[in-house]
Structure 1
Amino acid sequence: MDAEDVTDLEDMKNTIWSTSRLYLRLLETFPNYVQDFQAKWNDWQQGISAHDPSTWSSVPSFTALTALGPQIIPLVVYQLALNQNDNTAVHLYTTLETDPLYLPGSSEVGPPALQILRLSFDRNRAVRNALADWAEYSEQVSRHSTSTMYTECAEYDTLLGFGKSIIPQVMLQYAHDIKAQSGAGVVSASGIGRGVLFWYELLHELVWGCKTGVQTVEFGEMYKRWEAWFQGGGGVEGVPRFGREAA
């Protein structure tokens, strides 16, 4: 094995480790979200022939899976981390993924499954950096009480650009910040100056394409609404909706 092969092997180990770590964090924080996906995944696998692609999209269980939306992409990628020869997972991923930057292509090196793992690793790293950048910016303006100060910035726009597939990472950070705020079990009504709690604005704009327009927010209750949706397995149905979009 030459030096290049060793490097490729180490890169893939890091990629699989990163994918598995994200999966385990989601399982720990949002078990219903993961378990609902797994149940639908198992139903799909039982209803198709892995060796007959014509069966993969033609069963109701596939419709049930895709209805969950792009927010299940990290869980699909985890299936590839478990089995890099699973072409059904590749099929589901390419059905859900809409960003051409993160789709496997003929110009890339390696089979589609390995391309997806590498692309997802790159995206996860970029998202982590972008989340940290927005959190840092939000701390800098934390004396302000209006959400506009937190959402009219380049850091926020960068996160929006990733699209709906980053909803799981956003929810993880949202849950982390709520827990950090809770202390004795009570989240302050404002939350200002104590971390980023405007994740709901980002989630709303990722899903609906606009901000909530809400002027007064009880942060703990707002988080509960988003968590209930995320863990509920309803896809776009039941997503919290505010402002003109709620009409």
Structure 2
Amino acid sequence: MSDARGWRGKFGCLAPSTNTIVQPDYDDLRVPGVTAHYSRILVRNMAVGSNEGFAALTDAISASVDAALDSVLTSEPDRIVMGMSAISFYGGVAGAEAFAARIGALARLPVNTGALATAAALRRFGVRRVAFFSPYFPNANAEVRRFYAECGFEVVADECLRCESPVAIAHVPVARCREVVLRLDGHAPDAIVQVGTNLSMLDFAASAEAVLGKPVIAINAATWWQALREHGVDDRIVGKGRLLGDH
């Protein structure tokens, strides 16, 4: 028998326990018959003030992923959607694919990650020149840049916001994101990507596309889009960007 609410699909979603953005973002993208079921990757709200501090944060997240996965699997989901992004980019294309494959092997389910989903979105739009920004530090941005370059995109610019803690990422105002997007657009990319799932960009990205006339891809939108499409759900979601509205 199918689930009474998730009769088209139940998605098991993993996010750091400090993350307050990805769950409401995914909730805003709900379509009939598809439900999201969350498990928290336990991580403390540690101070992050350097490359080394950010590396410690991502190490802490990596150490807790498997326990969070075990928890969400008890709901018997149909796929796993990773609502965390930094470590999904590490190690270039091979590292990104290995990370998704490891989670998939443990869960015995299909998996969607931010890295692979944003790359799929860029290919869907047929772009070549890409700019991106993140709440990370330079060491993590270098990993994101490497991933996109290995995917065949020309990365023309990137910025990192160097947020002081994982919780502080969710405190970044839309006005700051707007400033960054406009600076990146000055490098004439074909598309702009925002990574970092605790950074609120879902609605602003949609409005920025209308102003700039090019794709502005929020990572939470891309990951959910890929999960829906790979699950055979083709519903269009109006007002959340071209990716979900047109593709």
TM-score by length of 2: 0.28
Richer in strand (by share)? 2
Pair member with larger Rg: 1
TM-score by length of 1: 0.28
Richer in helix (by share)? 1
